[in-house]
Structure formats: structure tokens, C-alpha cells
Amino acid sequence: MMDGKTLVLRGRVVSGVGSFSFWIGQLQDHYERKTGMRLYPGTLNLQLESEYSLPAKVIRLEASEYGGRVSVSIVPCSIQGRKAFLLRTDANENGTGDHPKTIIEIATDVRLRDLFRLQDGDYLEVAIAPEWAAYGTSEP
């Protein structure tokens, strides 16, 4: 949903597979350099009603930067007014990863489930600012 300025994605909290928990912990310095924030090692997964494709403008953590095999796109966003980042692997964006494009993963400096007392099935909105929302899509 676009209000002319901010892209708002609404999704239902779902459990993930735990991959980002491990990799954020292992690559903390790289994520901090890219985001300016020391991320909690894990993401909050939201199941959207329709697919979300990343915008053309993203922050990139390339596999070659850390000697790995997985590259990640990072999109600044906010969740209930808190600065956060949408993270998506290239495989997930291309439809060949662990998650379909209806799943978004949100990272910030705290465990969001604890901060907002979230459980699977709760609904939450993620706001993506206009400068990052351009060209991203959430298909109806």
C-alpha cells in the first residue's frame, strides 16, 4: 500500500528457519558497517498477503565481501517507529531460496518479538521510506 510517500507492508508474524540468526551473528561487523547499527542476531519474519519485490535501490552485502556464497539486499525501514532493516537474500528474491517473496525478514538492534510481545499470527506494519520504496512492489 502506497500513500504517496511511504510504502507500508502489512504482514502476519511467522516463525522462520533461523538462517539469519546464525549469519548476522557471524557477520556482525559487516552488517554494522552496512547499516550503522549492531543488529540483534535474528530477524522477525512477516508473511504478506501478496509478493514483495525489492526496490531498485538497496544496500548490498556481497558474498565476496566476507568470503561467502550468499549476497543480501538491505532496505532501511521502520517498524512501529523503530529504525530497522528488511533483509533478503538473492536466492529469496529470485524465488529459489528458503522463503517465497511473500515473506519479509526484519532486523534491528533488539529482538522484536520481545520488544513488542509478538507471537505467531500477530499482525504488524513495516514502513519503507519513499527514497527506498521506489520501484519496490507489493502486488495486489
Write out pLDDT tens, residues 98-135. Answer: 899 999 999 999 999 999 999 999 999 999 988 887 65
pLDDT at 1: 45
Mean pLDDT (the chain, rounded):
90
Looking at 3.40.50.10470, 3.90.1720.10, 1.10.510.10, 2.40.30.30, the CATH number of the domain 7-132 comes to 2.40.30.30
Q: In the chain, where are the structural domains located? A: 7-132
Contact status, residue 116 vs residue 82, Cβ threshold 8 Å = no
pLDDT at 42: 93
Sheet strands (E) in 1-140: 7-14, 44-48, 52-53, 59-61, 72-79, 82-89, 103-107, 123-128, 137-138
| Per-residue confidence band for 20, with pLDDT thresholds at 50, 70 and 90 | confident
